[in-house]
Structure 1
């Protein structure tokens, strides 16, 4: 199951996540490109529709959790506190609508400040690097696939199942 871009159930993704080794925080420093993993989660496809690129870790207290591609190719950072996650996952024709609206709304959702931090936390029996959002009850816990790739599990308070994604470190 090393090819995490394949469709899998939430339980298969969780089993794979549990089989991976922890990540130490220094490994996460840098810029990472991301992709969602299709597990039939309500957020599947949402990040890609919003032109999400990945995450940037400048240091333990300077993390940009949502890096997006703007209309003219310029990257920008989204402030997660401004995103209506509940509404976004239930919109009719969500992905086509977000593909159109998100680039237009980007300037109103953007920030120049880090909106998360990086800590080592224990989750499911292992201590691993975890990105903690400043303004949301969300932790992204990382496990090592290989030297350049990590599997992320978004632990969102109140969610029925975790959301999974893969990050690849930009050289």
Structure 2
């Protein structure tokens, strides 16, 4: 299993994903802390530079796909429909500007409403839990790394290379 800051090729990440058991919808319920998996994808580091925290799965029709932990704001859910995800992969100095600009934009992009759904989909020949964005052509598909960790494969229509990330169940004290 890759650890934070480990580097993998896209092919290695795909092979790891395919070797893992599919995650179930029931397994995905709850709050999760995330981290990117470095595969030399254009999005590597982008979420982290915008204070990405993780995801929250409240139920099949109530998923907060982008939860960020932003200075001065704390944990906030962001509306993905308002983010130019593909465009931001091409912005110069993205990882330097994002930590400065993101807190300023929070009042404009935050939401209290769920912006995704949790479904079981057929992916690469198996049935996986998947988070389907409401307003973007994106499905995040999950394979189980264990009861409290999953490997996510961002399936983004029109993106040449998949983006991989891990989620770890948030510990509630």
Please, what TM-score do these two structures have when normalized by structure 1? 0.97
Q: Which residue of 2 aligns with 1:107?
A: 107
Work out the number of aligned pairs and report it: 170
Q: Which runs of 5+ in 2 are unaligned?
A: none
Please say if 1:166 is aligned against 2:166.
yes
Q: Which residue of 2 aligns with 1:117?
A: 117
Q: Which residue of 2 aligns with 1:127?
A: 127
1:62-115 alpha-carbon deviations (Å, 9 max, x no partner): 000000012225111000000011221111111011111011111111111000
CA distance in 2, matches of 1:135, 1:3: 30
CA distance in 2, matches of 1:64, 1:85: 16
Q: Tell me the secondary structure at the aligned position of residue 89 of structure 2.
A: helix
CA contact (8 A) 1:60 1:118 kept: yes
Q: Which residue of 2 aligns with 1:77?
A: 77
CA distance in 2, matches of 1:86, 1:12: 23
1:123-163 alpha-carbon deviations (Å, 9 max, x no partner): 01110100000000000000000111000000000000100
CA distance in 1, matches of 2:31, 2:84: 25
Q: Which residue of 1 aligns with 2:18?
A: 18
**RMSD (Å) for aligned C-alpha atoms:** 0.9
Q: Tell me the secondary structure at the aligned position of residue 67 of structure 1.
A: strand
User: Segments of 4+ in structure 1 off by > 4 A?
Assistant: none
Q: Which residue of 1 aligns with 2:94?
A: 94
CA distance in 2, matches of 1:162, 1:152: 10
1:3-36 alpha-carbon deviations (Å, 9 max, x no partner): 3431001111000000000111011110000000
CA distance in 1, matches of 2:100, 2:134: 28
CA contact (8 A) 2:2 2:37 kept: no
Please say if 1:56 is aligned against 2:56.
yes
Q: Which runs of 5+ in 1 are unaligned?
A: none
Q: Tell me the secondary structure at the aligned position of residue 165 of structure 1.
A: strand
